[in-house]
Amino acid sequence: MEVAKVEHVSRVYKTGDVETAALKDVSISIEAGEFAALVGPSGSGKTTLLQLIGCLDTPSSGRIIIAGQDVSKLNRDQRADTRRAKIGFVFQFFALIPTLTAFENVEMPLLLNGLPAAERSARVQQLLDAVGLKERTNRRPDQLSGGEQQRVAIARALASKPALILAYEPNANLDTENGRQVMEIMQRLNRETGVTFVFATHDPRVIAYASRVITLRDGQVAANGAGAAKV
């Protein structure tokens, strides 16, 4: 079953009279439960593609279907609703709200989805336990290490039980050991919960975990095949 389907998508940015095509007629399909890597050099279009799949942006042409819903033409609030219900994000810079504790950061998507307090609390505790941060629930981001912050971000991405989690260079700001731990946690959660992960990276150590590798070059799919860690 397809979680994300990208059909002939192009994305053109305009700066004054200058047009730059970040993606050119890209078509890919992500199946449920995949642990896929989007790879390519800087400027290849992997971040743009992830933004489009994540409903953070809209394509200039083509169609994007997320969990059976065409999201190409949604307005701002409809895209926000889709993100809230179907998509989780893990960012390179962790992207936690600095004034909230680890618990509250993970709780945020559940609050936005209107989950009752008791269910929220149980879910957050379960997720923080799953990423090994059960003892650090009341710490704020500045009281956590980089690796811990990224684990909080992973727990937050999983909170709403999304169909798809998109990770942007998840290891870029971590040392080797923390990077390895984060990838192993993501891989374990992928196997245990069946949630689909798509991550953009150019780090060979990260690519090694991928069950499929989609290579982009100059805004086009250059290769699309099984990864080293095929599940």
Partner 1 sequence: MLQIIKLAWRDLNRNRRRSFFSALALGMGLSLLLLMAAVIEYEIRSSMDTSIRLQTGHLQIRAASYNENRSSLAWEDLVEGPAAIAVQVAGLPPVSVATPRLFASGIVASGDTSAAARITGVDPVSAANDPYRSGILSGQWLGADDRDGIVIGQPMADKLGLKAGDKPNVLVNTANGDVDSQAFVIRGIYSTRTPGFDNGTIFMSLAKAQAITRAGDHASAIFVLLKDRDQTGAVVAALQTRQFTVLTWDRMNALLSDTEELANSYMILLYLIILAITATVIVNTLVMAVFERTREIGILSALGMRSGRIMAMFFAESAMLALGGIALGLIIGGAMVAYFGSVGYYIGDYGMTGLLFGERIYAVLTLKDAINLSIAALLVTLVASVYPASLAARLEPVEALRGGRQA
Q: Would you count residue 156 as binding partner 1 (CB under 8 A)?
A: yes
Cα(3)–Cα(66) distance, integer angstroms: 6
Q: How far is the CB of 47 from partner 1 (least distance, A)?
A: 9
Q: How far is the CB of 98 from partner 1 (least distance, A)?
A: 7
Of 31, 57, 203, 218, the one binding partner 1 by CB under 8 A: 57
Side chain identity at residue 137, one-letter code: T
Residue 88 makes CB contacts below 8 A (sequence gap 6+) with: 109, 156, 157, 158, 159, 160, 162, 164, 165, 166, 195
Of 22, 35, 36, 89, the one binding partner 1 by CB under 8 A: 89
Q: Which is nearer to partner 1, 97 or 231 (CB)?
A: 97
* Segment interacting with partner 1 (CB under 8 A) among 25-33, 80-88, 122-130, 200-208: 80-88
Q: How many residues bind partner 1 (CB under 8 A)?
A: 27
* Segment interacting with partner 1 (CB under 8 A) among 29-37, 48-56, 186-194, 205-213: 48-56
Q: Would you count residue 95 as binding partner 1 (CB under 8 A)?
A: yes
- Cα 166 off chain centre by: 1
* Segment interacting with partner 1 (CB under 8 A) among 28-36, 97-105, 188-196, 206-214: 97-105
Which tokens sit at 13? 């940015």
Q: Would you count residue 99 as binding partner 1 (CB under 8 A)?
A: yes
Q: Would you count residue 21 as binding partner 1 (CB under 8 A)?
A: no
Going by C-alpha positions, the residue among 61, 45, 82 that lies closest to residue 164 is 82
Residue 41 makes CB contacts below 8 A (sequence gap 6+) with: 202, 217
For the chain, strand residue ranges (E) read 2-15, 18-31, 35-39, 61-66, 69-70, 87-90, 164-168, 196-201, 212-217, 220-226
What residues line the site for partner 1 (CB under 8 A)?
51, 54, 56-57, 76-77, 80-85, 89, 91, 93, 95-100, 108-109, 111-113, 156
